[in-house]
Structure 1
Amino acid sequence: MKRFLRKIFIRDSGALVLMYHRIATPAIDPWELCVSPENFEQQLLYLKQEYRVIPMQELTQRIQTREPLKNYIAITFDDGYRDNYTHAMPLLEKYSMPATFFFTLQFQAADKFYWWDELEQRILLTPTLPRHLSLSLESETFEFDLSDAATLTASQQSEMRCWYYGKPLYNARLELFYKLWALIKPASIAKQQSIMQTLRAWTGTIDRDTNLLMDAAQIQSTAQSSLFEIGAHTVNHPALEYLEAEEQNHEMQQSKTALETLTGKYIAGIAYPYGSMNHDTSVQAQASAFRYAVSTQAGVCTHASDLYALPRFQVTNLDGEAFRKSIKIWQGNNG
């Protein structure tokens, strides 16, 4: 009876789910997806001292059974970058911190990278590009003139490396990059590949890291750890809201099946790529036998949260003190 009354009358401020992508210091990070290993360790130290970090499956169970959520945090990683294995996991193990890693099936490809990483390298980091770009699309032609931004000075290249989304698109290179990103993201997988192939021919040969992602052996190793959970992130990382329900189901179900076969573990959760979803998405996640799904919508997890659209906060490259302040702000956004 006391436990029952405690659940009713004690106000519970909710739990936080943190979203990471990479633990690295790359040449450029326009979407602020990277946290340096040094800052990540500071963040873990703060969490270790002040919060109870639990796996996603435990968090979802607490939501379902209406157990207290205050001061609970779950750590998640999207996309399956190799630096999760080389940099994040050793630090998580050092501080005994559980985490959930969401994988696409891109680990099966010969070249383990995503189109947006290649786009950054080709458009933002290539010193000299042809002035004019023409892309033939299904119903129109995409034309763009780089003008003076076709060639970047050393100073301009340095400035470009510091740019991130939300800052002004102050030159034609940045305009082109953002327009191409917005064009490619909702496209079909076949169209994405076609556009990227055209861009490769247009930009020419570059020094490109084709092994940014974890391979099958590393995923299997991750799955054997008692600290880490494996989750799905679809087959091809599409923006699900642009797909028919049947296509969404295929992307989810096939990724779940492949990861279960690879790891021998039950795959309980899925992360929606880009956080993209529509009215069919949660239905298809349930139809694919997932127990929960996470979005990229910022918010606190409460007992009223939809288990198939759990909110998360994206963590950027913050030192320990800045991270502490962000956590406190996020905890207040639970109205």
Structure 2
Amino acid sequence: MSVDLTPPAPSGAEPFLRLRPPRTPAWVAMYHSVADPSDDPYEITVAPERLAAQLRWMRRQGLRGVSMKYLLEACAQGQERNLVGLTFDDGYRDFVDHALPLLRQYDCTATVFVLPGRLDGDNAWDPLGPRKPLLGADGIRHIVECGMEIASHGLTHVDLTAADDRLLRREVSGSRAALHDLTGVEAQGFCYPYGTVDERVAAAVREAGYRYACAIAPGALTGPYALPRVHIGQDDTAWRLRLKLRTNRLRRRVLARAAVTG
């Protein structure tokens, strides 16, 4: 049986929160670092040239990359056709250097999930591979000024399903407060570190005031606090992107049937 985490719609809520059931975005792409991918045991790094080729492919298919906030608002109005959600996890500094100019060149926006508890730090949670510098306060504010959405990836990148209640609240609510202090904007979105989520964690994200949350493959959880995504990597050339898009459309139909019959 599927578990729907759709919240009750408060007065004055954003349109996408009033959907019953919520629409599932057509496709949400998950990126991480945009840099030299030659030393990357986790296969999460995409070269700037590859990202440019992927964005060109989207344009040739009549697709446009947008932030999660924009995509979900479009879904609420039935206008999500030909939109692709673009997300970048972990808040690597190379987003400003390499991804941002390409997104602007191809008239795209994106959501960047950052770690306000690791400002100007690095990806210390990855035991293998090179240390990658993370965004600081100035970089985060610059991204907002450029029209991108900043959202939370927690404070320090921990597996929230293994966290006690106190640490869970700190990572979820504390990161939202920290981002507001940094940008003056209320963060609407959350991304679960490592993609791991359960009902307790999703409920904590909802109660902290976020409007949506992204996972990877959330299993039986459905709704705006368990949005699935498709990993995009260095090996994703045009034919692989086309295959992933078709596979994701099939998965949407399967998930929709499960939500109705579960």
Query: Structures share a fold, TM > 0.5?
Result: yes
Is the Cα–Cα contact under 8 Å of residues 141 and 182 in structure 2 kept in the other structure? yes
Residue aligning to 1:231:
151
Is the Cα–Cα contact under 8 Å of residues 218 and 227 in structure 2 kept in the other structure? no
Q: Does 1:255 align with 2:175?
A: yes
Alignment of 1:30-41 (within 5 A): 30-41=41-52
Deviation sequence 1:151-208 (CA, Å, 0-9, x none): xxxxxxxxxxxxxxxxxxxxxxxxxxxxxxxxxxxxxxxxxxxxxxxxxxxxxxxxx7
* Count of aligned positions: 228
Letter in 1 for 2:122: F
- In structure 2, how many angstroms separate the alpha carbons of the residues matched to 1:68 and 1:98? 17
- In structure 2, how many angstroms separate the alpha carbons of the residues matched to 1:289 and 1:260? 12
SS of 1:114's equivalent? coil
Shift of 1:106: 4.2
Letter in 2 for 1:55: S
Q: Does 1:60 align with 2:68?
A: no
Deviation sequence 1:217-251 (CA, Å, 0-9, x none): 1111001112x100001111110101123321211
Evaluate the alpha carbon distance shift between residue 255 and residue 329 of structure 1 in structure 2; reply closer, same or farther with a 3 A threshold.
same
Going by fraction, where is helix more abundant, 1 or 2? 1
Is the Cα–Cα contact under 8 Å of residues 53 and 97 in structure 1 kept in the other structure? yes
SS of 2:199's equivalent? coil
Q: Identity over the aligned pairs, expressed in percent?
A: 30
Alignment of 1:151-190 (within 5 A): none
Range 315-324 or range 31-40, more displaced:
315-324
Letter in 1 for 2:201: T
SS of 1:270's equivalent? strand
- The higher radius of gyration belongs to 1
Shift of 1:311: 0.7
RMSD: 2.3
Shift of 1:282: 1.3
1:215 to 136, 141, 144: 136
SS of 2:144's equivalent? helix
Residue aligning to 2:161:
241
Letter in 1 for 2:141: Q
Residue aligning to 1:270:
190
Is the Cα–Cα contact under 8 Å of residues 241 and 278 in structure 1 kept in the other structure? yes
- In structure 1, how many angstroms separate the alpha carbons of the residues matched to 2:37 and 2:244? 23
Alignment of 1:78-117 (within 5 A): 78-108=89-119, 112-117=121-126
Shift of 1:323: 2.2
SS of 1:85's equivalent? helix
* Unpaired runs of at least 5, structure 1: 1-11, 122-207
Residue aligning to 1:183:
none
Q: Does 1:330 align with 2:251?
A: no
SS of 1:18's equivalent? strand
- In structure 2, how many angstroms separate the alpha carbons of the residues matched to 1:249 and 1:14? 28
SS of 2:111's equivalent? strand
- In structure 2, how many angstroms separate the alpha carbons of the residues matched to 1:27 and 1:53? 26
Range 213-222 or range 54-63, more displaced:
54-63
Evaluate the alpha carbon distance shift between residue 253 and residue 219 of structure 1 in structure 2; reply closer, same or farther with a 3 A threshold.
same
Residue aligning to 2:86:
75
Range 320-329 or range 238-247, more displaced:
320-329
- In structure 2, how many angstroms separate the alpha carbons of the residues matched to 1:108 and 1:53? 27
Letter in 2 for 1:216: A
Evaluate the alpha carbon distance shift between residue 320 and residue 37 of structure 1 in structure 2; reply closer, same or farther with a 3 A threshold.
farther
- In structure 1, how many angstroms separate the alpha carbons of the residues matched to 2:167 and 2:118? 21
Letter in 2 for 1:31: Y
- In structure 2, how many angstroms separate the alpha carbons of the residues matched to 1:33 and 1:52? 22
Is the Cα–Cα contact under 8 Å of residues 117 and 175 in structure 2 kept in the other structure? no
Evaluate the alpha carbon distance shift between residue 13 and residue 77 of structure 1 in structure 2; reply closer, same or farther with a 3 A threshold.
closer
Is the Cα–Cα contact under 8 Å of residues 29 and 87 in structure 2 kept in the other structure? yes
Shift of 1:257: 0.8
Normalised to the residue count of structure 2, the TM-score between the two structures is 0.79
Shift of 1:305: 4.6
Shift of 1:292: 0.6
Is the Cα–Cα contact under 8 Å of residues 13 and 70 in structure 1 kept in the other structure? no
Shift of 1:322: 2.8
- In structure 2, how many angstroms separate the alpha carbons of the residues matched to 1:96 and 1:46? 13
